[in-house]
Structure 1
């Protein structure tokens, strides 16, 4: 199962997220849940890097299916708002996957979306 953990600050802004595990919803190379979750998360990180010109703190390991991303604390307000919008959009997309494939992906978010 893929587990997504979202860490928010006191203003409920996303500070970090972690994805870990494997969906195992199909044979290796044909796992649509894993492919979808990976595309959404990596696409979001690429969008942030390109559209916001921000270097995020990212750690990934293919083994164990691990991705962690934290928003730098020294980002200016305009970039921070763009990053938040993109990360919230990522969560909406991951939640859509989780609604359809509950047995393979779980999202832990303070907001309970």
Structure 2
């Protein structure tokens, strides 16, 4: 199962997120759930770089199955607001995978942790 943890403050301002595990929906290279979740996460990170020119701190496992992204805390209010919009969009897309008609929720779980 892919486990996604969203770390936020009391105002739901996201400071980091982590994805770990494998969906095991299908064999490696054919796993639709894994490919979808990975595309959403890396698309979000790429949008941070390409659209906003923001560089989060990224930790990955060389074997795959692990991504931890820490967002910069020293951004001006407008840039931070744009960054939060990208992150919220990414979270909504991941939630859409969980809630999809194909019962993919058994392969991916999202939790929220207040820091």
Moved over 3 A (4+): none
Structure 2 match to 1:109: 112
Q: State how 1:13-92 maps to structure 2 within 5 Å.
A: 13-63=13-63, 65-92=65-92
Cα deviation, residue 62, structure 1: 4.1
For 2:9, the equivalent position in structure 1 comes to 9
How much does 1:61 deviate? 1.3
| Structure 1, unpaired ranges of 5+ | none
Q: Which runs of 5+ in 2 are unaligned?
A: none
* 8 Å CA contact retained: 2:5, 2:113: no
Residues 40 and 94 in structure 2, CA contact (< 8 A), matched pair in contact too: yes
Q: CA deviation at 1:109?
A: 2.1
Task: Please give the alpha-carbon distance, in whole angstroms, between the structure 2 residues aligned to 1:108 and 1:49.
Answer: 25
Q: Greater shift after overlay, 72-81 or 36-45? A: 72-81
Pairwise CA distance, 1:64: 5.3
What's the offset of the Cα at 1:53?
Answer: 0.7
Report if aligned partners of 2:16, 2:69 keep a CA contact under 8 Å in 1. yes
